[in-house]
Structure 1
């Protein structure tokens, strides 16, 4: 049978070691001296070890006591952190994270899952809109943490990734071979003007086959091989693929994925959510979902 250390006894042990005596420790813990002494005795009996050298005047730790003290401090600290996080009103409420449709995968599901595990009393709401709409909400203070896809960066932002824009079509599709080239883009999509300008410079005729604010409508049209679109590499849904055009279509520029955290964000939970986003982008090698998305274009979130 595994044995468990008594957290109350550990707390008394740490207090005695730090304060230098049972009397002071009892005052700090708001306990009687006899209660603290009893807890120390119980801890020693449970371990079968002598933790205090009582042959001297005052309190001194034995070698075993010194070794236990480091563990005891960590255990008490972790206990207090867990209790505080689970019960403190500081970790209650909700936080909103704004992310463009096209970069929700592969990282954001993992970020939200980890945040929910660390802050179970906080409610994380994902707001998925286009970059321009998220920027507007951010400026108005209606969304304190946002990701954007931009070629520049606004004041106060930080670049998390620099990702190429690539042509995307149906798996095995032929729509990219037909002229005029039929395109499918939302009216608010920030990539639309980039694609149109690139085609115009290359002298390739085109027409807009779909103009809608619904990503589903665009995906359905492209997957039916009735048009093509453009997405950041590694973010296309599994039923679409990068077009192997071999230079028949113009190369597209890269875009920054930027993070903005409002200066009014001060809560530990909100700042922790922003840190989780940073960590996801800065350490993609350790994330199997990223490797899958970049090779097979399958946005599969990690299950930690």
Structure 2
């Protein structure tokens, strides 16, 4: 039958091992000497092993005690971390994270899952909006952290990754060869102005085939081979494909930038920032 080790007993064992004596450990733990001695006796009874060698000069670890010490330290540390995270007021409340829709998957669900494990009492409010809208909300203090997709990094930004911007069309489609080139964009798309400027510079005539507030409407139009659009490489859905290089003007790269509200709760914001760095850095 599986037996359980008591965290309080392990804490006393670690203290005795680190201080070299029951008396000093008792003072450190604010317990009586007899209480610590009883805990050590109970530990050896549960294990069926001697973990300490007692002598007139103090105590020393047995071979089994040396092996147990590493486990005991980790168990006590894990216990203390869990208790702190679940009860400390600094780890309560809400944090508002803004992310453009095109870079939500696959990173953000993984980040939120890990964050919820570490901070179960902190609610994350996820906002999915365009970069310009998110930057405006951050400036007004309505967001704690935002990610953006933009060609440059403004003051206060931390660039997590650079991703090529690509022309996207229907698989095997012909819309990219039409002239004027038929385009499909959301009204607030961050990429739109720069993409059109590149077409103008290359002397390629164009017309707006569809303009919508819905990304799904744009995807459906492009999938029907009625227009082309632009997306970050790797974010295009399965029913669309990136056009071969050279088909249309090169669009360069976009930066995935992280911005932080200085008033955000430091411990919580620090942890979420680190998870975002790991997530987007590992793409």
TM above 0.5: yes
TM-score scaled to structure 1, two decimals? Answer: 0.86
Deviation, structure 1 residue 209: 1.6
- The equivalent residue for 2:278 is 279
Secondary structure of the equivalent of 2:38? helix
- The equivalent residue for 2:269 is 270
* Correspondence 1:106-125 to 2 at 5 A: 106-125=106-125
Deviation, structure 1 residue 260: 1.5
User: Once structures 1 and 2 are overlaid, which stretch shifts more, 110-119 or 269-278?
Assistant: 110-119
Deviation, structure 1 residue 274: 0.9
The CA distance in 2 between the partners of 1:218 and 1:158, in whole Å, is 30
* Correspondence 1:160-179 to 2 at 5 A: 160-179=160-179
**Superimposed CA distance per residue, residues 43-78 of structure 1 (whole angstroms, 9 cap, x where no aligned partner):** 112223222221223333334323322321111011
Q: 1:121/1:266 Cα in 2 relative to 1: closer, same or farther (>3 Å)?
A: closer
Contact 2:90 2:265 in 1 (8 A): no
The CA distance in 1 between the partners of 2:158 and 2:269, in whole Å, is 17
- The equivalent residue for 2:6 is 6
Contact 2:98 2:129 in 1 (8 A): yes
The CA distance in 2 between the partners of 1:283 and 1:175, in whole Å, is 34
Q: Mind listing any 5+ residue stretches in structure 1 that lack a counterpart?
A: 285-304
- The equivalent residue for 1:226 is 226
Secondary structure of the equivalent of 2:58? coil
Deviation, structure 1 residue 34: 2.3
The CA distance in 1 between the partners of 2:221 and 2:93, in whole Å, is 40
The CA distance in 1 between the partners of 2:57 and 2:232, in whole Å, is 71
Secondary structure of the equivalent of 2:99? strand
- The answer as to 2:207 corresponding to 1:211 is no
- Aligned-CA RMSD value: 1.9
- The equivalent residue for 1:69 is 69
